[in-house]
Amino acid sequence: MYVHLPPGHVLSPFEQCDPVHLRRALQIIFGNIPYDEARRICNILSLAERRHELGKRFFQRIIKGESNVLFYLLPAKRDVQLKTRLRYARQYPTIYARTNRYKNSFILFGLNHFQ
């Protein structure tokens, strides 16, 4: 399992395990407690939650720095005067897509969910 982490981030022993081994380790430690409850007791995020957080952090780094390689994929920023008049002001406009493949692309998903 390959994990790309930001510098300085240290994995706990539970996060270093594969999901299958993690499930087995929690079963050995806690006995007959359901997996989700054992995960909550140990403060371990599910794989989907970890992926969501990593994607969110990655997208935030793209937005922050114009020197980022993927920054050019973002649309132009909204006008400051327009942002002050909007109820839910976002830095970038919402882009609508016709196909599911484009809707689920990383940049579009990030614009719609992580701003």
114, 90 Cβ separation under 8 angstroms: no
The pTM of this model reads 0.65
Which of the pair, 11 or 52, is modelled with greater confidence?
Answer: 52
Supply the pLDDT for residue 56. 92
Q: How many whole angstroms separate alpha carbon 22 and alpha carbon 39?
A: 9
112, 94 Cβ separation under 8 angstroms: yes
Mean pLDDT along residues 70-98: 81
Supply the pLDDT for residue 113. 85
pLDDT surpassing 80 at residue 41: yes
pLDDT surpassing 70 at residue 29: yes
Mean pLDDT along residues 17-46: 84
